[in-house]
Amino acid sequence: MATPTGSWLLGTETAVSRTLLLGWVLVQVVGASGSTGVVAAYNLTWKSTNFKTILEWEPKPINHIYTVQISRRLGNWKSKCYFTAETECDLTDEIVKDVKQTYSARVLVMPANATGYAGEPVYTKSPEFTPYLDTSLGQPRIQSFEQVGTKLNVVVQDSRTLVKANGTFLSLRDVFGEDLNYVLYYWKSSSTGKKTVKSNTNEFLIDVDKGENYCFNVQAVIPSRKVNQKSPESAIECTSQETSLFKDKFFIIGAAVCVAVVFITALSLCLCYCRKARARRSSKKSAPFSVA
């Protein structure tokens, strides 16, 4: 049977252990946040589409501010978005300088009211980011399409990027070249069965059934990538053979009307000429002979 003194000692040891554990946790928190008492940024995430690139993080600041720095691998840190209360920073102008480079960013946090603050800022480093491999592909657009007989021609419009060369903004095709493919999904408007065709250019010319209407959309793809291979699919477009037939009939009728007008005009001129010729002959016959 345990004595009262033994129970008291056991309880005291337990309380001391809990206190020591709590103290250790507090030390870890203070160590992670530095002596300033501010909370380090976390959940640093790259958001990038067609090379438009923003770094996001948490938490929303209360009594602190942020500065973002970016660096190429083994390069020097360059500060951006100085002393901001926002939780995002647009780094596009840095990464488009060389989209095949690998970049890192870090978010520094300092007290908002620390005028002339000279302490070491708390910072959190982002994952590495290589724009050429990691930027997402934006939704493509269909520039034009035409169905003539048994041929359907579809042209995809390349998205513009913020990457520049010689002062000109480049398209996705300019940046990726033949690494960029397009996939065309097409089907009869009266059916749900889709067919697929791929191209490493921006144009498709496919065989279809004459007189049938077709619907289709496209998707950008970079097969060599391990992630972010595909863009969202474009909006759906459809052909209209009824409209095409109407146009054909309109042109045929128009041509026939033009021919008829020309024929009637020519016939009228001819009849008018003939009437005048007969009138002249009649006038000569009825005129009296003059006597010498």
Banded pLDDT at 26 (limits 50, 70, 90)? very low
Residues 76 and 155 in one domain: no
Structural domain includes residue 78: yes
Residues 127 and 151 in one domain: no
Q: Give the SS3 label for residue 215.
A: strand
Give the distance from CA 60 to its chain's centroid.
29
Contacts of 197 (CB under 8 A, 6+ apart): 183, 184, 186, 204, 206
Distance (Å, whole) CA 151 – CA 153: 6
Residues 90 and 167 in one domain: no
Please tell me what DSSP assigns to residue 87.
S
pLDDT of 156 above 80: yes
Q: Are 79 and 67 in contact (CB under 8 A)?
A: yes
Q: What is the CATH number of the domain that holds 164?
A: 2.60.40.10
Q: Is the peptide bond before 140 cis (omega within 30 degrees of 0)?
A: no
Distance (Å, whole) CA 151 – CA 13: 87
Q: How many CA atoms lie within 13 A of 174 on its CB side?
A: 17
| Tens digits of residue pLDDT in 203-213 | 999 999 998 99
Distance (Å, whole) CA 203 – CA 143: 10
Residues 129 and 85 in one domain: yes
Phi/psi at 84 (5° precision) = -100, 150
Structural domain includes residue 17: no
Residues 102 and 151 in one domain: no
Tokens of 57: 């993080």
pLDDT of 237 above 70: yes
pTM: 0.68
Structural domain includes residue 277: no
Distance (Å, whole) CA 92 – CA 51: 7
Structural domain includes residue 73: yes
Domain that holds residue 169: 141-244
Q: Which letter, b or e, does each residue of 191-202 get, where b requires 16 or more Cβ atoms within 10 Å of its Cβ?
A: eeeeeeeebeeb
The CA distances from residue 220 to 48, 81, 98, in Å, are 16, 33, 22
Banded pLDDT at 22 (limits 50, 70, 90)? very low
Q: What percent of the chain has pLDDT over 70?
A: 71
Count up the domains in the chain and report the number.
2
Question: Which pLDDT score, from 0 to 100, does residue 117 have?
Answer: 60
| Helix and strand totals (H; E) in the chain | 5, 16
Residues 76 and 127 in one domain: yes
| Tens digits of residue pLDDT in 81-130 | 999 999 999 999 999 999 999 999 999 999 887 555 666 789 999 999 99
Structural domain includes residue 42: yes
Contacts of 190 (CB under 8 A, 6+ apart): 212, 213
pLDDT of 227 above 80: yes
